[in-house]
Amino acid sequence: MQSTEKEIFYNTKKSYTTLNTLTEKTNSVWLVCHGMGYLSKFFINYFKGLNALENYIIAPQAPSLYYQNGFKHVGACWLTKENTTNETKNIMSYFDAILAEENIPSDKNLIIFGYSQGVSVAMRYLKNRQLQCKQLILHSGGLPKELTAEDFAFLKAKVSLVYGTADEYLNKERIAYETERAQELFGNTVKIIPFHGKHVVNVEIINALV
């Protein structure tokens, strides 16, 4: 007997979280992609230090939920090595739906922020949709190996690569590799921002980059 894997299309409902209110006074709209193990409703709290009148934050929710710490907490994951191509397409469609729903005015500065696993999601969305933004902030995450400088030739954004010098997921070789990759993709204009700390969201740097 042989098993067969099939595919279907169906409608689903998925939440996302926003912070502050989008008004005429809003200067910057942030699309922020959390890391593995987070939920958007908690991750968005890292952006509460930004000026509430000038900044509107949109935090998508990774689709795969799972229990952590003996069923005490729920975390989420964006992608795994299983069926990555189709799952990436699903996430891209989800982001499309969020931006369509939010209907961001063209006069707002769009800031794309990825943390940890969210870095790869944010970069693939930019590449696949040729999305123009004012800033791209890549915080403590690996840059997808399949991406090339050609993929971002359209981009006119200020790009920052942020990492902790004591990050438990990095060593000197990995830091050198990711730095070199960032420069390959975005040229020498990419700003490298190391900080003394572990694999944590650096709120101070977030607030300073606005």
What is the pLDDT averaged over residues 170-197?
94
Query: What is d(CA 150, CA 134) in angstroms, rounded to the nearest whole number?
Result: 19
What is the model's pTM? 0.94
Tell me the sheet residues that pair with 140.
none
Sign of the dihedral through C-alpha 138, 113, 109, 62: positive
As a whole number of angstroms, the distance between CA 193 and CA 121 comes to 20
User: Domain segments of the chain: what residues?
Assistant: 16-208
pLDDT tens for each residue of 7-51: 888 888 999 999 999 999 999 999 999 999 999 999 999 999 999
Q: 135-139 and 158-164 as β-strands: parallel, antiparallel, unpaired?
A: parallel
The fold of 16-208 is Rossmann fold (3.40.50)
* pLDDT tens string 115-164: 999 999 999 999 999 999 999 999 999 999 999 999 999 999 999 999 99
